[in-house]
Amino acid sequence: MAATVTLEPAGRGCWDEPVRIVVRGLAPEQPVTLRASLRDERGALFRAHARYCADAGGELDLTRAPALGGSFAGLEPMGLFWALEPEKPFLRLVKRDVQTPFAVKLEVLDGHELETERILSRAVHERDFLGPGVRREPVRAGRVRATLFLPPGAGPFPGVIDLFGSGGGLCEYRASLLAGHGFAVLALAYFRFEDLPEYLNNMHLEYFEEAVNFMLQHPKVKGPSVGLLGFSKGGDLCLSMASFLKDITATVLINACVANTIAPLHYKDMIIPDLGSDSRKYSITESGLFDLMDIWNNPLEEPYHQSLIPLEKAQGPLLFIVGMDDHNWKSEFYAHLASERLQAHGKDRPQIIYYPGTGHCIDPPYFPPCRASVHAVSGVPIFYGGEPKAHSRAQVDAWQQIQMFFHKHLNGKKSVKLSKM
């Protein structure tokens, strides 16, 4: 009987959904190696492998069988996905075109030697970023440069604005996946895209206010308010939006600062200065990576205090998602600071979820944890932190927590359908 590898769901599924991998037709307790690979849109190769032994019946089910070594060890049903590593160092796996799937090639090799050419079985699993019925609409409205993702159905749907960090451009993969869970999500660019500024110099909150108004005027968006999802620099921008703009009732901040960073922020006749940094305080890891955690000024000290965002003005609840091994900046300290400031102003404490062993770049589930990459603007390799296994678990949990938070505060739902694996 020839070995066969089967996947459930068969053929394809969404990137943020788990897939069950089963190999049948092996000899009892046969040693095999499973190898996964994919190429991104630029042709970069990412690979992972793990060694296993079949059970007494000649079956290998990754939900029951622990990996004996390789790219990971232990019971990790999705390890072949989150353990993918770039062939070229310091490349981060991101999805640039959400309209096409990632094709993940799976191979079953005889024995525990990775170099063997004896391939017992192959399969290709397509991982989509646009779920069934999700619509993608480019947005060029006034100054707003964005993409709107709408779930299937008549709507209207709770609206979320999604902001990424200091790499710039338009990142759609998180918004497209979140839309598959019942939200109208606007992936919003704010620099390094089309006719937007090339660099983060002076930021104007009126641009983001225009994006909020666009969402609330859209017939498929359920008012009277929207939610915000921000990562890194996008996080402090979301915090400023929640503090100064109307019609925002739920804000999720992934490894964000509570001070305005990188560039001064203008709104009407007000300016919040940039927190600033001392580039001489960076350190270099043994691998030659830049560790930036200590370069940022302390917002509690003068003269940097003016950069603090008055988050006590925020209308709705805040959720801070914190990687406790974040080496980009002191996310844990900033979340503590937010809690203390809100309580000092008689406000409820924010919800804070701390993830041990988790670095800066918290992505949707099953993306390989990005411990280091070359920064899109600075061009230098930066260390972001994180222990791969803990980080991958955090990404699964954080994704569910984000959905629960938005469903509760934008949609009035108390529960969300959780991943089975």
Q: Which residues carry out catalysis?
A: 232, 326, 360
280: left (phi over 0), alpha (psi -120 to 50) or beta: alpha
Question: Three-state SS for 46?
Answer: strand
Name the amino acid, one letter, at 366: Y
3-class DSSP string for 44-105: CEEEEEEEEECCCCCCEECCCCCECCECCCECCCCHHHHCCEECCCCCCCCCCCCCCCEEEE
Residues 6+ apart with CB under 8 A from 393: none
Decide: 215 and 283 in contact? Cβ < 8 Å. no
Task: Tell how far CA 48 is from the center of its chain.
Answer: 20
Decide: 33 and 113 in contact? Cβ < 8 Å. yes
Q: How far, in Å, CA of 373 to CA of 292, rounded?
A: 13
Task: Tell how far CA 200 is from the center of its chain.
Answer: 21
Q: How far, in Å, CA of 220 to CA of 338, rounded?
A: 33
In 3D space, the residue among 238, 229, 249, 247 whose CA is nearest the CA of residue 401 turns out to be 229
